[in-house]
Structure 1
């Protein structure tokens, strides 16, 4: 068993204030490790803006795992505006990242980590990405990472289970359609408590990524052809 992986996010603001969030990921599964101080406000209850395709029934869980994963951060920034200037530092065991940006971009990176590693089964697609989290990744970087990790999963499926791989990426597109639904319901939950727009817009950007990626899949990744022409 490998040690837990720590991602330490620090938001520094021009007025000298700062906020920090430590996220621990299970190195073997890519799952978010519950924080004993995790907040579970009313808007995280399972039945509040519950997803139409929620895999959980009343009585199985009291709270939405995705909502719980973002609760502490969403509550901390619920009055803040998207364009507020911040410098975000992310420290891991092996690397140190920093980016001078706006608040919504920093939150997008953090939300992507905690939502993708949450215990919602619709987010299982992202657990390998959370395990190898890349802060502030661009859309192109996200496309390459998603496709690469999905194809690794297909290789392992053939090798370990003898099941034919999905090289048409049909399963991947279907999984992203399910993620879109989750994102939109999380936006509704966060909207119910937010006076600012930073946290909502961060999730909107993530949902935009999730909406655009299937279009890239259908387009055949033409923009990657030049990079891989000597490999393929």
Structure 2
């Protein structure tokens, strides 16, 4: 998928995310991407085995692109993926949040790997309900595929809740990295917005109040 950011001053910035592979960079990685720099408290990686945080290293490119612009800079974003184009004028922090979500799902971090299928079916600028629907649907489909392979399956969504709780720890640690990396707050606030979606998803999973019931009356009515 390709994100194209068009600013009112005429500058155009682009970034591509490929769900098939982890992001690769030929440029030297900055110091804030080192694994031990604000390392997540739940990180399963060890410095003797991995030099750089996969998520942080994947964010180095986008931070270099627009890390010097304020959060509320207006930007026109064009997202091209799967033979479709979505264009939206929004704030840079919301545009960054959408891009960071796609990057996180494909970066190779052990705690974001469960999101990779969502990157294959990326939905830019998802709101709370769309995120909940996609997360639950993809997770349950994953459990169905596990069952077909005679593997244990989790139909209670407890595994999804646990995965999102781990993801929130990752988001908070990455925010600390980005505060050290960027001159402005667009990247940090984009990550904060992404974390708010994660928080909302956890709340809906733990205390479901029928947010999606109206869309599924054909399944729930006799």
Shorter-chain TM-score tier: over 0.9
Aligned position for 1:62 = 51
TM-score by length of 1: 0.90
The offset of 1:38, in angstroms, is 5.4
Q: Secondary structure at the match of 1:87?
A: strand
The offset of 1:66, in angstroms, is 0.4
Q: CA RMSD in A?
A: 1.4
C-alpha distance in structure 2 between counterparts of 1:116 and 1:23, whole Å = 10
Aligned position for 2:193 = 205
Q: Secondary structure at the match of 2:154?
A: coil
Aligned residue among 77, 80, 83 for 2:66? 77
| Structure 1 residue 222 corresponds to structure 2 residue 216 | no
C-alpha distance in structure 2 between counterparts of 1:38 and 1:222, whole Å = 48
Aligned residue among 16, 19, 25 for 2:19? 25
For structure 2, the 5+ residue unaligned runs are none
CA spacing shift, 1:228–1:198, aligned 2, 3 Å:
same
For structure 1, the 5+ residue unaligned runs are 1-6, 27-31
Runs of 4+ in 1 over 6 A off after TM superposition: none
Question: Alpha-carbon deviations, 1:168-219, whole Å to 9, x = none?
Answer: 2111111111000100010000001222111100000011111111110122
C-alpha distance in structure 1 between counterparts of 2:204 and 2:175, whole Å = 24
C-alpha distance in structure 1 between counterparts of 2:156 and 2:27, whole Å = 40
Q: Work out whether residues 77 and 198 of structure 1, in 8 Å CA contact, stay in contact via their aligned partners in 2.
A: yes
Aligned residue among 35, 39, 50 for 1:46? 35
Q: Work out whether residues 38 and 72 of structure 1, in 8 Å CA contact, stay in contact via their aligned partners in 2.
A: no
CA spacing shift, 1:186–1:160, aligned 2, 3 Å:
same
| Structure 1 residue 175 corresponds to structure 2 residue 163 | yes
CA spacing shift, 1:39–1:222, aligned 2, 3 Å:
farther
